[in-house]
Amino acid sequence: MRIVEIREATASIGSDIRNAYIDFSKMDVSICAVVTDVIRDGAPVVGYGFNSNGRYAQGGLLRHRFLPRLEAADPARLVTEAGDNLDPFRIWDAMMTNEKPGGHGERSVAVGVVDMAVWDAVAKIAGQPLHRYLAERYGTGTPAADVSVYAAGGYYYPDKDNTALQDEMRGYLGMGYDAVKMKIGGAPLADDIARIEAVLEVVGDGARLAVDANGRFDLDTALAYGEALAPYGLKWYEEAGDPLDYALQAELSKAYAPPMATGENLFSMQDVRNLLRHGGMRPDRDILQMDPVLSYGLVEYMRMLEVLREHGWSPARCVPHGGHQFALSIAAGLGLGGNESYPGIFQPFGGFADSTPVAGGRVALPEIPGIGFEDKAGLMALFRRELG
């Protein structure tokens, strides 16, 4: 058993949205296909991968370092001891040969793209849906039947009043979501509070609304927002300060009692460990949003989950960034607390299987081998067109 070929390409996921930091119109992702010599249903098993939005395609790093290392590796070193499947951990080690510690960005995305495709192939070779494969091997034995998801959106509408924002949120409820997330920090505090109150008119309970500052606040602004937000009892207050400003997060934790969330811009076990050690995050209520693709893939994400356990955190406190089937499979398989979703954007990468619409704020997973891409026609069409 061996990897026959790894193909990669770049695809656009540009959208016309803009958060507090960046314009997504030029956003792209890497896609890849890991082609194996294993035959299932009369055809070679192929695993597919792509990276989550926000950090760009990584074709340069893939072609320059990570794919050549896999091509140069002895194929026997990339499979399990028993030789019955690819080994994602050994493949990870081969990719990271001759890489120095520290500096966790960009390469973490490149490695994550390949890691996703490897896990897709591994589950297909095992003949299992990935969420079931993970639950049996690394989880409690039984995967969750469905996963809580929330609709992330709520960007600013220049030159429009808050009815446009309300219409957007009403749309999410109509799609089957029962919780939503909106941006804050792109307008004065009073205007943001008015936006929040407008959305609460639509969604009702504050526990159904999360707010996201995208890391733009300094400590004083974070505290001022915290004071204004606290009475609403929101679902969470996300990424108030720079993702690496653990001291800001720790100070804010002393002042703001309701749940907070962060972690989507931490791309290694070491960075997450620092958040747990120094960020004052509270394991009884806060949410950790690390993205298993942007941060070196599921192999590294499992290391993060281990560090969480060592610090008294349950995997149920994790709700990954990403909004795609891979994160959903991990959530169902390893007992995470939920998954992000971006209704209608980042297509065809965003969203879940065609056969499993969101209902009651939850989404189920198809019982087909792998991550479930074969039940997402638009994505499979793109993979086949771009990766042959």
Q: Is 278 among the catalytic positions?
A: no
* 3-state helix vs strand vs coil in the chain, percent to 5: 45, 20, 40
For the chain, how long is the longest CA-to-CA vector?
Answer: 62
Query: Which residue's CB is nearer to a second copy, number 59 or number 259?
Result: 59
Token pair recorded at residue 319: 């709700």
Is there binding between residue 296 and a second copy (CB under 8 A)?
no
Min separation Cβ 249 and a second copy, Å: 12
| Interacting residue with a second copy among 37, 44, 60, 306 (CB under 8 A) | 60
Q: Mark 146-165 with x for binding to a second copy (rule: CB under 8 A) and - for no binding.
A: --------------------
Is there binding between residue 21 and a second copy (CB under 8 A)?
yes
Q: Which residue in 124, 321, 324, 376 is the catalytic one?
A: 321
Q: Which residue in 183, 235, 324, 376 is the catalytic one?
A: 183
Q: Is 171 helix (H, G, I), strand (E, B) or coil?
A: helix
Is there binding between residue 227 and a second copy (CB under 8 A)?
no
Q: Mark 245-264 with x for binding to a second copy (rule: CB under 8 A) and - for no binding.
A: xxx-----------------
DSSP assignments along 89-132, one per residue: HHHHHHHTTT--SS--SSHHHHHHHHHHHHHHHHHHHHTSBHHH
What whole-number distance in Å separates Cα of residue 291 and Cα of residue 258? 23
Is there binding between residue 57 and a second copy (CB under 8 A)?
yes
| Interacting residue with a second copy among 56, 170, 219, 337 (CB under 8 A) | 56
| Interacting residue with a second copy among 215, 323, 338, 370 (CB under 8 A) | 215
Q: Is 321 among the catalytic positions?
A: yes
| Interacting residue with a second copy among 37, 71, 84, 99 (CB under 8 A) | 99
| Interacting residue with a second copy among 232, 256, 267, 373 (CB under 8 A) | 267
Place of tokens 């993970």: 134
Looking at 35-43, 150-158, 242-250, 336-344, which segment touches a second copy (CB under 8 A)? Answer: 242-250
Which residues touch 9 (CB under 8 Å, ≥6 apart)? Answer: 30, 31, 32, 59, 386, 387
| Interacting residue with a second copy among 242, 344, 354, 386 (CB under 8 A) | 242
| Interacting residue with a second copy among 39, 81, 102, 188 (CB under 8 A) | 102
- Helix ranges, 159-296 (H): 162-175, 189-203, 219-229, 246-255, 269-278
- Long-range CB contacts for residues 12-15, cutoff 8 Å, separation at least 24: 13/53, 13/346, 13/347, 13/349, 13/350, 15/345, 15/346
Token pair recorded at residue 285: 């209520």
Residue 350 is which amino acid? G
Q: Which residues bind a second copy (CB under 8 A)?
A: 21-23, 26, 54-61, 63-65, 98-108, 215, 242-247, 265-268, 270-271, 273-274, 277-278, 294
Which residues form the catalytic set?
183, 321
